[in-house]
Structure 1
Amino acid sequence: MKKLLNTVYVTTEGTALKKDGENLVAEIEGAEKARVPLHMLASVVAFGPILLSPALIGICAERGISLVLLDRAGRFQARVEGPVAGNVLLRRAQYQAADDATDVVRGIVMGKIANQRAVIRRALRDYGGEMTAEARNGLERATDRMAMILRRVQLSDNSVDLLRGSEGEAATLYFGVFDHLIRSPDPELRWTGRSRRPPLDPMNAVLSFLYTLLTHDCRSACEAVGLDPAVGFLHRDRPGRPSLALDLMEELRAPLADRLALSLVNRRQLRAGDFRRMDGGAVLLTDDARRTVLTAWQERKKEERQHPFLQEKAPFGLVPYLQAQMLARHLRGDLDAYPPWFWS
């Protein structure tokens, strides 16, 4: 599927990327390491100090291939792309809706809370019998409370600020019991709380890395259907922030990123030795561990699930694009409401 397999991730520092005819070529110390036809690409994601030739930048801009530059920790630095194609009427509708976005925000918040709750319920189903009574009771209390918040969001005529408050309350419950979902024997991989910019422990390092990848896919999805990724509904506008992409990823964080992080740790594909602590306290994945996560991420995107609104099976990797399409249809007036994506 083109949307799943057309992103090249470059993780080896010092790699030189250049154009050779109709191909992207990766070289390390003058030796060719990889060659990919340009017509197969939609984006290139580079981590750390990577050299991009002017000819490659030019052809990527001309062909609509985005170049995304991240630092060693996976934090966004820059995005290079050619002229942006978009439906001006759709974007006008998006800008108008952004001033009164209660219905869209409600759908996003419902999807996020329901999917966080589903991750906890899946853990209880799969290995609840192996948990301590304290852990099991804590998870059950969290799912009960999240169900109440979900009903409140669904049935009440809340303002956007109140919906944001409900989203934050559910997130506090979710991350408050997140450590019970970790089954690794390594004490270094235990969960103590969310930290970012920089992540201060291994689990946060994995989550931040996966969230960066998901943000990239959601931003591409917005642009693919003609939406402005900078103008969101749940996330307030801020210069340089892709607010709409962050909106779309909220309902996808738990089933795509959180579940994958837990699987990698619980299956012992990532261990304490796969992380390094920097002088400033930041914790980063090693190069080999980052490749492990990227491989698992691409495989995860191939898995299929039933889309609750379309009633058709779709790969995880297409869900951001489908949700962007649903949002565009709602903004154009083709759908009465934005249908969130519920994982099951």
Structure 2
Amino acid sequence: MRRHRNTIYVTTDGALLRKDGANVVMQVEGQEGGRVPAHMLDGIVCLGRVTVSYHLIGYCADNGITITYLSSSGRFLARVEGPVSGNVLLRKEQYRRTDDLEQCPIVVQGFLAGKIHNQRAVLRRSRRDHGDKMTTESTAALDDAENTLNRLLKRLPYEQDNERLRGMEGEAGRTYFKIFDHFIRREGLRFSGRTRRPPMDEVNALISFLYTILTHDCRSALEAVGLDPQVGFLHRLRPGRPSLALDLLEEFRPVLADRLALTLINRGQIETKDFTVLDNGAVIMSDETRKTILTAYQERKDAELRHPFLGEKTTVGLLPALQAQLLARHLRGDIDGYPPFLWK
């Protein structure tokens, strides 16, 4: 089993990251603000105005540590990585499968099975946790949504056309987000529909930020096993878009991002006062809010569970790496299909 290494998130504006022996050191206004052993890292994420020294960039490139730059609002800007060491034969098979009208849907079915199953699991968990406090209207809405997700899951194994599979993915997303507001149990923060670029309410700003950092983890996991994160199966190819990372992200959105967002809201750790509405209606979060989210995300990654397919105990943070390995095994022909992560 692969060892779980960490990602550090640097949110202090004006910080300088440098290498000191075997450590990554953060300096703010000439004073050391923290250090961490470099061998424990597989990624560094810089939010806002953060500088990384030339020597640290070189060390990270040589040792497989990716450096990702995000804007202060969490928008992806750039990524620095060293030479790709992936298996060229694996990537060649990946490219071939994406163009194979018979083989490509098999992979897409796996991603969608994980996404829809895990959306349904979030719904059921919310009903189990808060069902006795829900109104008749909320209960009926959740019943209708669960019936739709059940229908899509039953239909999924028989659908062999990529375009129709994408249509099913869209229907599942609309169904899920239509009832998402019913999962929120505290006053103040509300969700009226998914909005992006920019997010137009606090909940959208929160889940978009979580999706961004989770995409970073999925992309790193795919590169680590030799797959090309740009060439996906479910998401269409587009210059600059990590389509395969977005494919892998789908099964993790509900359980690693949405559930965490709901926990932070329902426990009162994130409130309306933690956000600012700009003149154009876009909503951004404060620096302290980002730190709260990142701390909770790292704690969630340290939690342990048993992988449903492998039957082994692992940490949540290793799930993207394990699923990337399973995808690579399927593409090599070692297993018949891609087994998604199914949350219980």
2:265 match: 265
Q: TM-score, normalised by structure 2?
A: 0.96
Aligned AA (2:185): R
Spell out the pairing of 1:85-234 with structure 2 (5 A cutoff): 85-100=85-100, 101-154=104-157, 156-186=158-188, 189-234=189-234
Q: TM-score, normalised by structure 1?
A: 0.96
Q: Distance in 2 between matches of 1:323 and 1:277?
A: 37
1:7 match: 7
Aligned AA (1:255): V
Deviates more, 1:97-106 or 1:14-23: 14-23
Aligned AA (2:107): V
Q: Distance in 2 between matches of 1:20 and 1:310?
A: 39
Q: Deviations over 1:25-57 (max 9, x none)?
A: 111111110112222222110001111222221
Alignment check: 8 A CA contact 2:159 2:165 kept: no
Deviates more, 1:331-340 or 1:33-42: 33-42
Q: Report deviation, 1:281.
A: 2.3
Aligned AA (2:330): H
Aligned residues: 341
Alignment check: 8 A CA contact 1:4 1:298 kept: no
Given the superposition, is the C-alpha separation of residues 240 and 172 from structure 1 closer, same or farther in structure 2, using an over 3 Å criterion?
Answer: same
Alignment check: 8 A CA contact 2:114 2:342 kept: yes
2:40 match: 40
Q: Distance in 2 between matches of 1:221 and 1:60?
A: 16
Q: Distance in 2 between matches of 1:336 and 1:287?
A: 46
Alignment check: 8 A CA contact 1:4 1:301 kept: no
Q: Distance in 2 between matches of 1:250 and 1:283?
A: 24
Q: Distance in 2 between matches of 1:279 and 1:70?
A: 22
Q: Distance in 2 between matches of 1:322 and 1:59?
A: 26
Identity percentage of aligned residues: 57
Q: Report deviation, 1:2.
A: 7.8
Q: Does 1:317 align with 2:320?
A: no
Q: Distance in 1 between matches of 2:2 and 2:290?
A: 23
Q: Deviations over 1:91-149 (max 9, x none)?
A: 11111111121100011111101110110011111111110010011101110111011
RMSD (Å) for aligned C-alpha atoms: 1.3
Given the superposition, is the C-alpha separation of residues 285 and 314 from structure 1 closer, same or farther in structure 2, using an over 3 Å criterion?
Answer: same
The SS at the match of 2:35 is strand
Alignment check: 8 A CA contact 1:5 1:298 kept: no
Q: Distance in 2 between matches of 1:296 and 1:110?
A: 27
Alignment check: 8 A CA contact 2:5 2:42 kept: no
Q: Report deviation, 1:274.
A: 0.9
Q: Deviations over 1:230-285 (max 9, x none)?
A: 11000111111111111001011001100000000001011111111223322112
Q: Report deviation, 1:3.
A: 5.4
Q: Deviations over 1:278-334 (max 9, x none)?
A: 233221121111111111101111222332211223221111111101100000000
2:21 match: 21
Q: Distance in 2 between matches of 1:38 and 1:252?
A: 27
Which of structure 1's runs of 4+ aligned residues deviate more than 6 A? none
The SS at the match of 2:302 is coil
Q: Deviations over 1:154-193 (max 9, x none)?
A: 2x2330110010111011010001110001121xx10111
Which sections of structure 1, spanning at least 5 residues, go unmatched?
A: none
